[in-house]
Amino acid sequence: MIVAVAQQRIVEDVEVNKMKALSLVKRAIQHEAKIVVLPEASNTGLFPENFGKVRSLEEELDLILKLSERKDILVIAGVVERSEGNLFNSVALIYRGEVIGKYSKILLFPLNEERKYLTAGKELKVFETDFGKIGVLVCYEVRFPEMARKLMKMGAEILAVPAEFPAERIEHWRTLLRARAIENQFYVLGANCVSPDGFYGGNSMIVDPMGNVVNEAGNLQEIIIGEVNLEYVRRVREEYPFLKDLDSIP
């Protein structure tokens, strides 16, 4: 199965961001990808000045929803959305013109203004899709192995990580993605963004269940492609049955 990770160049202009996201999804379709992951807050970026005009999930993702109606691709898109009067840093799973699942970021980042403007989610989720069982974490949350481990125990075969991870800590990002893959023996699709000022570092990655980097982006807007084989997840877990020893931990 071909998958794509879209490393979007996020700017302050919301309409420009939406068009960039749409263009990257179109490129993933051209590569015959079955899954494409967009970065965190792909519509607004984490610019508080954009939050006042944020609308519902479906309104924020209207272009991608329309594009996906007749396409056989699962879009996993980071999006700031308004729901019941509150703003959430969410990730939507879109298939055939519909939102088939949503996860809202639980751990809001303490070093910017996320906690001032956004409401935290409350529930980890694994989504059963035609392309595998997919868990989602957002950016900062990849630092917490407990969250990824719980998603694995819930059945995840793939972990998607939309992010806006800064360049100054990009080696943390690269190490954490590989660590989460190795610890849980699943694929990790990490979609970081880039920015005109170089603050966000890129290096989006596709990592296999053994921690091998299948593909990695640089520091410009681009799309990376890789192969995901869910049978390989099962085979790795059988040949290296380390996860079974979790039950032996006192």
Active-site option among 18, 102, 105, 133: 105
* Residue written as token pair 């699943």: 186
Active-site option among 18, 40, 114, 216: 40
**CA angle (194 as vertex; 190, 196 as ends), nearest 5:** 175
Give dist(CA 241, CA 51) in Å, integer.
Answer: 46
HSE-up (13 A, CA, CB side) for residue 126? 18
Active-site option among 18, 139, 141, 216: 139
Give dist(CA 2, CA 168) in Å, integer.
Answer: 31
Q: Is 193 a catalytic residue?
A: no
HSE-up (13 A, CA, CB side) for residue 57? 21
Q: Is 123 a catalytic residue?
A: no
Burial profile 226-243: b = 16 or more Cβ within 10 angstroms, e = fewer: bebebebbeebbeeeeee
Which residues participate in catalysis according to the annotation? 40, 105, 139
